[in-house]
Each structure stands twice: as structure tokens, then as C-alpha cells.
């Protein structure tokens, strides 16, 4: 039988160490909504989302109340819209109408983000996919809840450098169109390599075509819990450090698994995966950077940071895998800047640069995330950064992502406020040497030799 | 601590107690298992009759107390109850709200959670 100390431990994690379930994401396939008539397509999309997700918010609230665990976000991901709109949308403007429909559906059901305004162009782009990508700036500027992602490479296909070049321009254009809100549109746009089909986290969530009609994916969190656990073993060796992270990750993930199964059962929608993630928030004590510093780094970015992050990421997976029946998504530690107060502090101290972050992304679950850069950064430089990250993902057979925010009108030394869970960030320096001739070559980078396993 | 009224509201089979770190802990255990278990935790400044008030509410609503443990640390009252809501007609949400209100009136924080969250986290 459960005892007093176990109850106290769990409740302390929830009340003082910010243990929460970061998101319940309901994946919905829109493949059966395809229609060559744009109005009919929009109507079908709206109806399907509002029908399938109508109880998502209330079920989430019930689970929160009954288990006493906060569920921070309830979200929806849909089939990449470039596929769904391909026969109805002849221009980028046509795609924008779908974005607005998705936004309306998201507001009706009450979720705070809807992902899947996406195109998967890791090898080539159809006309529809190019139209969707070109519609992204206007779609993000004219909606509130929509998140967009573009997969521009994979270990199996190599990197689509035409798409990389285009995405540099799209990121800049999105920043321009949303400059009144500190270029906030870019916080809802992520460029991925090896994008997973079942990622519950925004902005990269979409419902892959390999998925069923609807699925429940859950993303857990808990950097504060790991940090607190490590406080009790200061000065101990790596064996103890790793064991502690692993055990803590197990406990955190068990809560995610419980919530996922409950949500799945109550909504009558199959359970997909639990994403084993340490997802920070701007709140004090909910930081991945603080975990790394607790391990013994003076400030994140110091030598040893990549090793510390690699260890953390691996132990989180080892602990989490046993705690959940299905694991997927991004799974690992997230290292965004604006969403993690410890990272912001490290940047302000001068210990953390984009180059060090790039190294860190080769051992953790995502990539260059929520990094504010000068608004005058050339599009080709953004493409160059995207290409670098994609190369890390392609060669290491892992997901990488880039979510840069070139804040129009701001430069190094300024700070930008995005609000809420998106936090605030100092503008970080970008290498000013040009890569324009490299990016302008066009074409594809071939798949690496180790991808040929057949 | 005043335990007046506590045992009269319980219908359980065995009562045991132990000392750990100088704190006396009471356990009222029940051998049967079922799926309607809720953990009620009460935390706050110690006052006369906290357990009695909670138990009265539970007994009025046909909620069985299966297990109680409590400590007082530096004047702070800390209690955990495992209760069975199987015979109660009360909705979980209503019970949680009413107990929370009772807590506010008594000056303590009362929280209801289904047992599974603890079971899943601490048991393989």
C-alpha cells in the first residue's frame, strides 16, 4: 500500500519542483477531408477537428483534478496540410484559408496550439508543398494558434538544399510580417531534419501519414524534479549521478504514461506514445540549464557542457523507456533559450554562444531552439545555420530542428519579450561571415553512406 | 492533536501505530483492495479537531477511511488518508471541492488525488 512518504514525495514534486505533464496532444488525420473544392475542404477540416477534439479540454481538466497533476497544454496536431490541400489549393493564398480554418477550429475546441501547417520536403518539393511553404509567413501572421513546420532533410534522403534556401527566406519574411509582435511568427515556425511523425511538442508537431485516424501523444516534463534530486548528491561520482537522473526520469515518465492512458481511455482514442522530455519553462526552478549547472558547471556553455547534456539526455531516456509502454516523439532534454531562464542567464553572462549550442544539439533531442538573433541577419545565413543543424541530424540519425527568431529592428544587446511560456531572450550574435555562395548552389546533399543499410 | 471522534467514524479492522524519527504515526488498515481509492492529504497549521472534521465529512458521504497516517512537524499538521469512495454517490470533483472548502474554513490545505498517480510513480 502507498505510504505517507511516497505521497509526500510526489506532492512535493508537483508543488515545489514543478512536475507537470507538459502537453496532451491529440493527433488527428485529415486525409479523409481531402477535396478538390477549397470551401468543401475547409468545411470538412473544421468539422472533423471540432468533432474529434470536442472533449479534449474537459477530459484534460478532469484528469488534472483527479490526479492533482497540472497538464499545462492541450494541443492538436494534424496531417501535414501540404498533403491535405494539394488538390484544392492552387496558390499560397488558398493555403492561408486553411490556416484560418485551423485557427478557428483550435479556438472552438479551446486548445492553445494546433500544429501541422507543415510540408515534408526532405527530398523534393511538389508545387503544393512549395505553395504551402510560401504561404507560411502570411498564415502565421494572420492566425494565433497555428504552428508550422517544414522537414527539409533526413538520414535516408539527404538534405533538400533548395528547401533550406527557401526556408531562410521564409523565416525572414515571417519575422517581417510579425515585426509588431517582436517577430513572434518565427516562434511558431520550425525547420526540421528527421522530423518524427508522433511529436507532441510544438512547434514541430504534426500527425504523420503513418499514424492512425486519431492518437493521443503525451509530452512529460520535470527539469525541476531532476535538479532537486541532483542537489542531494553533490560531489558524488558519475555512477550515482546517472542512477539518480535515471530513477527520477522513471518517476516523471510514469506520470506521463498514466495521464496518456487515462486520456486515451476517456476520449476513446488510441494511445500513441509518451515523449520522454525535459521541457523547461521560463519559471524559476524549471530549467534544464540549472540541471547542467547542478552537475558542476559554473555556467552553461563552459567546457564540459556537451558531455553533461549527453549524459543527462541518455539517462532520461534510459529511465523513461522502462516507465512507458511506447516511447516516441523527440524524447530527451530540450535546450531552448527564451523558454529557459537558466539559458537566458548563461547567454547574458557571456558563457553560451550559438556555436556552443550547435555542439550541444548533436547530443540532445532537438536543436537551435527559440534563439533570438539580429533582425538584419541575411536569409542565406539563416539557411546556413539550418543546413548545419540538418547535417548534424542527418549524419547522427537523429532529429534536429531550427527555430530562430530574427527580431526585426533589434540588435545584439537588446532583449526581446515573447510572453507566456515562450519567455524572453537576449539577441545573440551570429557569425557574420557569408555562406551565400554555398546556399545559392541549389540542389540536394546526398544521403550519407551509413544510411544504406538494405 | 485531538483524535476525538476519529475512531468512532471508522469501521476498519485493524489499527496499528509506529514511531519514526520521534513522530507517532497511526495506521488504520483494511485488507481488501478496490479501484475507488483516493488519497486525501491535509497540510497546515495544527488545530483542534482537524481529523474529526474531515472524518465527519467522509462518514456523512459514505466514504470509508482505509488508512491514516499523520505527523506534526514544527507545529505543522501533515496527514494522509487512503479512502474508499466505492459506496459514495459523490462525484470526485464535488468531493475535492467540498474538502478544499472545508480546509479553507479550518485553515489547512486539503487535497484529493486518485491513488493511481502514487501507485504508478512508486511501484513497478
Domains recognised in chain A with CATH numbers: 22-193 (3.20.70.20)
- Residue whose C-alpha cell reads 478538390 in the numeric block: A36
Query: Would you call A63 an interface residue with chain B, using a CB distance cutoff of 8 Å?
Result: no
* Cα angle value B8/B14/B20 (rounded, 5°): 100
Domain positions in chain B are: 7-122
Q: How far is A252 from chain B (nearest CA, A)?
A: 7
Q: Which CATH number fits domain B7-122: 3.50.50.60, 3.30.70.260, 3.40.50.300, 3.20.20.220?
A: 3.30.70.260
Per-residue pLDDT of chain B (124 residues; tens, 9 = 90+): 444 444 444 443 344 455 555 555 554 444 344 468 999 999 988 888 888 999 999 999 999 999 898 888 777 888 999 999 988 888 898 999 999 999 998 889 999 999 999 999 998 8
pLDDT reading at A142 higher than 50: yes
Prediction ipTM score: 0.82
Determine contact, residues A28/A207, Cβ cutoff 8 Å.
yes
Q: Do B71 and A251 touch (CB under 8 A)?
A: no
Among the listed residues A231, A431, A190, A160, the one whose alpha carbon sits nearest the alpha carbon of residue A334 = A190
Q: Do B93 and A65 touch (CB under 8 A)?
A: yes
Q: How far is B35 from chain A (nearest CA, A)?
A: 13
User: Which run of H or of E encompasses A107?
Assistant: helix A92-109
Nearest to B114 among A7, A66, A255 (CB): A66
Cell of A8: 509526500
Determine contact, residues A414/A427, Cβ cutoff 8 Å.
yes
Q: Give the number of other Cβ atoms within 10 Å of residue A170's Cβ.
A: 25
Determine contact, residues B66/B26, Cβ cutoff 8 Å.
no
- Count each helix (H run) and each strand (E run) in chain B, helices first: 3, 6
Question: What was the pLDDT predicted at A240?
Answer: 95
pLDDT tens figures, A322-353: 999 999 999 889 999 999 999 999 999 999 99
Query: Would you call A261 an interface residue with chain B, using a CB distance cutoff of 8 Å?
Result: no
pLDDT tens figures, A76-134: 999 999 999 999 999 999 999 999 999 999 999 999 999 999 999 999 999 999 999 99
pTM: 0.88
Amino acid at each position: 500500500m502507498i505510504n505517507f512518504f511516497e505521497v509526500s514525495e510526489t506532492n512535493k514534486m508537483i508543488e515545489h519542483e514543478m512536475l507537470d505533464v507538459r502537453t496532451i496532444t491529440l493527433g488527428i488525420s485529415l486525409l479523409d477531408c481531402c477535396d478538390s473544392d477549397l470551401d468543401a475542404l475547409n468545411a470538412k477540416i473544421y468539422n472533423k477537428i471540432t468533432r474529434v477534439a470536442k472533449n479534449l479540454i474537459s477530459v484534460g481538466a478532469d484528469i488534472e483534478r483527479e490526479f492533482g497533476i497540472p497538464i499545462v497544454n492541450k494541443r492538436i496536431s494534424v496531417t501535414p496540410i501540404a498533403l491535405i490541400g494539394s488538390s484544392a489549393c492552387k496558390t499560397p493564398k488558398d493555403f492561408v484559408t486553411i490556416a484560418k480554418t485551423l485557427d478557428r477550429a483550435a479556438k472552438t475546441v479551446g486548445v492553445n496550439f494546433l500544429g501541422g501547417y507543415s510540408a515534408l520536403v526532405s527530398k523534393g518539393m511538389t508545387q503544393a508543398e512549395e505553395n504551402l511553404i510560401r504561404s507560411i509567413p502570411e498564415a502565421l501572421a494572420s492566425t494565433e494558434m497555428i504552428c508550422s513546420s517544414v522537414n527539409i532533410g533526413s538520414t535516408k534522403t539527404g538534405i533538400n538544399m533548395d528547401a533550406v534556401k527557401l526556408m531562410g527566406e521564409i523565416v525572414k519574411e515571417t519575422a517581417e510580417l510579425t515585426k509588431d509582435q517582436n517577430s513572434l511568427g518565427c516562434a511558431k515556425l520550425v525547420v526540421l531534419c528527421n522530423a518524427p511523425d508522433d511529436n507532441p511538442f510544438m512547434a514541430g508537431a504534426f500527425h504523420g501519414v503513418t499514424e492512425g485516424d486519431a492518437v493521443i501523444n503525451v509530452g512529460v516534463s520535470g527539469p525541476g524534479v531532476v535538479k532537486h534530486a541532483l542537489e542531494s548528491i553533490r560531489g558524488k561520482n558519475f555512477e550515482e549521478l546517472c542512477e539518480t537522473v535515471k530513477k527520477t526520469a522513471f518517476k516523471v515518465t510514469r506520470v506521463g504514461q498514466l495521464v496518456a492512458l487515462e486520456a486515451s481511455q476517456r476520449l476513446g482514442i488510441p494511445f500513441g506514445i509518451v515523449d520522454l522530455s525535459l521541457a523547461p519553462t521560463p519559471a524559476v526552478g524549471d530549467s534544464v540549464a540549472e540541471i547542467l549547472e547542478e552537475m558542476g558547471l559554473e555556467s552553461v556553455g563552459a567546457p564540459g557542457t556537451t558531455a553533461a547534456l549527453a549524459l543527462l539526455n541518455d539517462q532520461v531516456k534510459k529511465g523513461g523507456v522502462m516507465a512507458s509502454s511506447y516511447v516516441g516523439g523527440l524524447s530527451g532534454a530540450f535546450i531552448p533559450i527564451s523558454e529557459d531562464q537558466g539559458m537566458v542567464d548563461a547567454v547574458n553572462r557571456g558563457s553560451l554562444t550559438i556555436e556552443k549550442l550547435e555542439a550541444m544539439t548533436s547530443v540532445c533531442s532537438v536543436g537551435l531552439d527559440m534563439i533570438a538573433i539580429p533582425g538584419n541577419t541575411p536569409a542565406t545565413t539563416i539557411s546556413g545555420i539550418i543546413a548545419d543543424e540538418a547535417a548534424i541530424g542527418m549524419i547522427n540519425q537523429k532529429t534536429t530542428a531550427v527555430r530562430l527568431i530574427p527580431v526585426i529592428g533589434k540588435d545584439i544587446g537588446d532583449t526581446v519579450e515573447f510572453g507566456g511560456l515562450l519567455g524572453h531572450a537576449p539577441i545573440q550574435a551570429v557569425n557574420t561571415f557569408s555562406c551565400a555562395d554555398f546556399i545559392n548552389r541549389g540542389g540536394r546533399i546526398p544521403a550519407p553512406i551509413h544510411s544504406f543499410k538494405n | 492533536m485531538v483524535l476525538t471522534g476519529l475512531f468512532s467514524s471508522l469501521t476498519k479492522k485493524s489499527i496499528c501505530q509506529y514511531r519514526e524519527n520521534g513522530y507517532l504515526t497511526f495506521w488504520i488498515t483494511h485488507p481488501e483492495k478496490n479501484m475507488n481509492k483516493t488519497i486525501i492529504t491535509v497540510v497546515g497549521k495544527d488545530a483542534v479537531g482537524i481529523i474529526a472534521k474531515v472524518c465527519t465529512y467522509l462518514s456523512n458521504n459514505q466514504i470509508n477511511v482505509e488508512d491514516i497516517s499523520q505527523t506534526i512537524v514544527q507545529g505543522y499538521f501533515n496527514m494522509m488518508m487512503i479512502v474508499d469512495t466505492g459506496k459514495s454517490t459523490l462525484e470526485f470533483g464535488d468531493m475535492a471541492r467540498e474538502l478544499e472548502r472545508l480546509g479553507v474554513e479550518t485553515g489547512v490545505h486539503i487535497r484529493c488525488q486518485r491513488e493511481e498517480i502514487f501507485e504508478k510513480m512508486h511501484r513497478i
